[in-house]
Chains A and B, each alone.
Chain A
Amino acid sequence: MTIKKLVLIAAAALLTASPALAADDMLTIGFTVSRTGKLNNDSIAQMRGFELWRDELNDQGGIKVGGKQYKVNFVSYDDESVNARVQQLYTRIINQDKAQFLFSPYSSGLVATAAIVSEQYGRIMLTTGAAEEKTYKLGNKNLFQVYSPADLYLAGAIEAVKELNPKSQVALVYKDDPFSKAVLQSARKQVSEAGLTTVLDEAYSPETTDFGPAINKIISAKADVLLGGGHYPDGATLARQLYDHKARLKWVTLLVAPDSPNFATLGEAAISISVPSQWEPQVSFKPDFGPTAAEFTQRFQAKYGIEPGYHAAGGYAAGLLLQRAIEQAGSPEQAKVAGVLNSMDVTTMFGRTKFSTNPKEHGLQMGHEMVIAQWQRKGGNVVKEVIWPKAAKSSDVVY
């Protein structure tokens, strides 16, 4: 066989393997996952949510559009928790892998980058794990936020603290990153409106490894309430050191970290730490379609062996919402699906979903409500309970 023939065969093989030639009864959804890097804990949970939805859907035959059924195929890459990778990979996902729809990466910072690419190519992207509002206020037309926006994250905790002790002295100590700063910007205002006193208000560097000096500052400020944190590694370290340093705070709400089932590995240090949560397995929404929270929890546990947190539930809900929109649009065409998403007002296992259609904040989540979960000791085990709002609580507050 001549070299020329070999080259021709190789070229033919490459063309056959090209993902551009996907079957026409297949819908491709693309996204990146932080399989490695500092965001991997929550990002992988989110991906598992996507995957459970896809597997269940494909087992049932796929998305029903008119008389046809589309199975769902995922194209995903590891973004290494790095912005530059997100930019390269979303471009690849759209141009080379020809994804028709997109899910977002995890975290507000990475989503801000992915949104630039998705808007540039006019692809619908359901964002989950991205609470910061700024991205939705830049005139984007194809983003749809599944989570409650950042300004609501600490509202419940502040309301609860006010009810427990209106003279509370609050320390705001948070990670110096876009999401945490966005949350705290609103929280600062909400603390003051609630008539509580802020005695310390400081951001810490994302590279912080030792929170000893920060904790001494909290003690010196005579704070009895701490609101803040950021993501998993820093939040877990802060919680452990608060316990080691016996900081004697009456209420601690940290962002994101305590929602992860891994947080229980902190043992005693986890007790009484609370977290604003987009979703908990105990919620009892009556879904218009899809499973209930209890059914989802049971299926997730059966597949992955751990209880789902809100990142996993958000991922699953993103799948359900996109599926519903495509089914109701009667076509996988972008404009038709976007039209359905714009007018959507539904309840799933994740709660209510309604996207803003105001051009100044298009896609911002308007319907979803958050809860507060707290780690408590029950019968020798460290468990997470819903404590706020009272209507949704599964246990009383430990204060």
Chain B
Amino acid sequence: MGLALQMTGVIASIIDGVLVGAVYGLAAMGLTLIWGVMNVINLTHGAMIMLGMFALYFLTSALGLPPYGAVPVTITAGFVFGVLVYWIAVHRVIGRAHLMSLLSTFAMNMVLIGISTALFSTSPYNVPVPLPGVTWREYTFTGTHIMAAMLALLLAGLLYLLLYRTRIGKAIRAVADNRDAAELNGIPTTQVLSFAFGLGVALACVSGTLIATLFPFTVLSGGAYELKSFVVTVLGGLGNPAGALIGGVALGLIEGVTASFMPLNWTPIIEFVLFVVALILFPRGIFAFARA
């Protein structure tokens, strides 16, 4: 009986892991899209996730929106803000040494974290989302986890449609493949780059909003998910949105499994060992086969 309960617990942790992993995947898609299109490692990623979290808090508490009603607002506002950040901090460093874009986005990250700390301090915020869960024996899968995973998959699907079924998507892929050739074919590449950056930031923001429906958060919470996004993009292959989603689910699964069989404090160690191993053995990503 004890063993059966334990095995059920392991399965429950795996399911939990996959659910939260889909949200990690969505966050990482934003990071990897920007890298894939413009070869910029966006270090404002964690700050954007955090802004998405606070967007949920203010949209629900100040404007009285239902929690999931905040999702389209966050995507739109995130996109506009992303385009703005592109023109402020990214445009001039595109095509230059990677260190330039790293420094530029890192500085922007510090500005955003600094302003947010001054406005909200680093105190924790909580947005209770009353959504009934599913109980299986002694274990409960929360409604918020299930909803967050479903929305993450839906948004990933919409991104796929945007990239592969629309003209702007075609333009983004063309610019990612060869910016000069795209320019010669009359594609306004600068606008496309700013659109892609806006899209990447919108994904980071909305993943932050979904994470904030699951857990309490602070101004500094984005950092942990930025790190996870790096692990996920390395698993899925940098610049590969489909791989990022699979990588995210894989990371969630690994967290669920390792926590079940090993001491809890080993989880980050296993994650980052995997990060190094993936970098050495699969520099194009473990899930490179998913590369479109």
A interface residues, Cβ below 8 angstroms from B? 35-38, 40-41, 44, 173, 176, 202-205, 207-210, 212-214, 216-217, 219-220, 222, 232-233, 236-237, 240-241, 244-246, 248, 262, 265-269
The smallest C-beta distance from B221 to any residue of chain A, in angstroms, reads: 7
Chain B positions within 8 Å of A203 at CB level: 263-265
**Given A213-B256, A213-B264, A244 and B140 touching (CB < 8 A)?**
yes
Q: Is B142 an interface residue (CB 8 A)?
A: yes
Inter-subunit contact A262/B123 (CB<8 Å): yes
**Given A208-B267, A212-B13, A244-B144, A36 and B122 touching (CB < 8 A)?**
yes
Q: Is B5 an interface residue (CB 8 A)?
A: yes
Stretch at the interface among B71-79, B103-111, B131-139, B185-193: B131-139
Of B9, B117, B216, B227, the contact of A219 (CB 8 Å cutoff): B9
Chain A positions within 8 Å of B20 at CB level: 210, 212
Inter-subunit contact A219/B218 (CB<8 Å): no
Inter-subunit contact B13/A209 (CB<8 Å): no
Chain A positions within 8 Å of B263 at CB level: 202-203
Q: Is B281 an interface residue (CB 8 A)?
A: no
The smallest C-beta distance from A377 to any residue of chain B, in angstroms, reads: 15
Chain B positions within 8 Å of A212 at CB level: 13, 16-17, 20, 145, 256
Inter-subunit contact B16/A262 (CB<8 Å): no
Chain A positions within 8 Å of B122 at CB level: 36-38, 40-41
The smallest C-beta distance from A211 to any residue of chain B, in angstroms, reads: 8
Q: Which 4 A-B pairs rank lowest in CB-CB distance, beginning with the nearest? A: A213-B259, A220-B9, A212-B16, A204-B264
The smallest C-beta distance from A178 to any residue of chain B, in angstroms, reads: 14
A228 to B218, CA, bound (A): 21
A240 to B218, CA, bound (A): 15
Q: List 20 A-B contacts (CB under 8 A).
A: A38-B220, A40-B121, A202-B265, A207-B224, A210-B16, A210-B214, A212-B13, A216-B12, A216-B139, A217-B13, A219-B138, A222-B2, A233-B218, A241-B215, A244-B142, A246-B133, A246-B135, A262-B123, A266-B126, A266-B128
Inter-subunit contact B264/A214 (CB<8 Å): yes
Closest A residue to B142 by CB, please name it: A244
Q: Tell me how many residues of B have a C-beta within 8 Å of chain A.
A: 45
The smallest C-beta distance from B256 to any residue of chain A, in angstroms, reads: 5
Chain B positions within 8 Å of A208 at CB level: 264, 267
A122 to B219, CA, bound (A): 37
Chain A positions within 8 Å of B268 at CB level: 205, 207
Chain B positions within 8 Å of A222 at CB level: 2, 5
8 Å CB contacts to A: which residues of B6-60? 6, 8-10, 12-13, 16-17, 20
Of A37, A236, A245, A246, the contact of B126 (CB 8 Å cutoff): A236
A233 to B124, CA, bound (A): 6
Of B124, B133, B265, the contact of A236 (CB 8 Å cutoff): B124
The smallest C-beta distance from A198 to any residue of chain B, in angstroms, reads: 15
**Given A212-B17, A233-B218, A265 and B265 touching (CB < 8 A)?**
no
B interface residues, Cβ below 8 angstroms from A? 2, 5-6, 8-10, 12-13, 16-17, 20, 117, 121-126, 128, 133, 135, 138-140, 142, 144-145, 214-216, 218, 220-221, 224-225, 227, 255-256, 259-260, 263-265, 267-268
Chain A positions within 8 Å of B227 at CB level: 207
4 more A-B contacts (CB under 8 A) besides A38-B122, A210-B215, A213-B16?
A40-B122, A213-B256, A222-B2, A233-B216
Chain B positions within 8 Å of A232 at CB level: 124
A395 to B276, CA, bound (A): 53
Chain A positions within 8 Å of B138 at CB level: 219-220, 248
Inter-subunit contact A216/B260 (CB<8 Å): yes
**Given A219-B138, A233-B216, A210 and B255 touching (CB < 8 A)?**
yes
Inter-subunit contact A245/B140 (CB<8 Å): yes
The smallest C-beta distance from A342 to any residue of chain B, in angstroms, reads: 37
A325 to B70, CA, bound (A): 56
The smallest C-beta distance from A19 to any residue of chain B, in angstroms, reads: 25
Of A38, A210, A214, A217, the contact of B218 (CB 8 Å cutoff): A38
Chain B positions within 8 Å of A237 at CB level: 215-216
Of B6, B128, B133, B221, the contact of A209 (CB 8 Å cutoff): B221
**Given A38-B122, A209-B224, A220-B6, A267 and B128 touching (CB < 8 A)?**
yes
Inter-subunit contact A217/B16 (CB<8 Å): no
Chain B positions within 8 Å of A41 at CB level: 122-124
Inter-subunit contact B256/A204 (CB<8 Å): no
The smallest C-beta distance from A10 to any residue of chain B, in angstroms, reads: 30
Inter-subunit contact A214/B135 (CB<8 Å): no
A204 to B269, CA, bound (A): 12
Chain A positions within 8 Å of B8 at CB level: 220
Closest A residue to B8 by CB, please name it: A220
A332 to B279, CA, bound (A): 60
The smallest C-beta distance from A228 to any residue of chain B, in angstroms, reads: 11
Inter-subunit contact B126/A240 (CB<8 Å): yes
The smallest C-beta distance from B241 to any residue of chain A, in angstroms, reads: 23
The smallest C-beta distance from B114 to any residue of chain A, in angstroms, reads: 9
Chain A positions within 8 Å of B16 at CB level: 210, 212-213, 216
Chain A positions within 8 Å of B13 at CB level: 212-213, 216-217
A269 to B214, CA, bound (A): 13
A48 to B247, CA, bound (A): 46
Inter-subunit contact A217/B140 (CB<8 Å): no
Chain A positions within 8 Å of B12 at CB level: 216
Inter-subunit contact A217/B124 (CB<8 Å): no
Chain A positions within 8 Å of B144 at CB level: 244
Closest B residue to A43 by CB, please name it: B122
Of B6, B128, B140, the contact of A269 (CB 8 Å cutoff): B128
The smallest C-beta distance from A84 to any residue of chain B, in angstroms, reads: 17
Of A35, A36, A217, the contact of B259 (CB 8 Å cutoff): A217
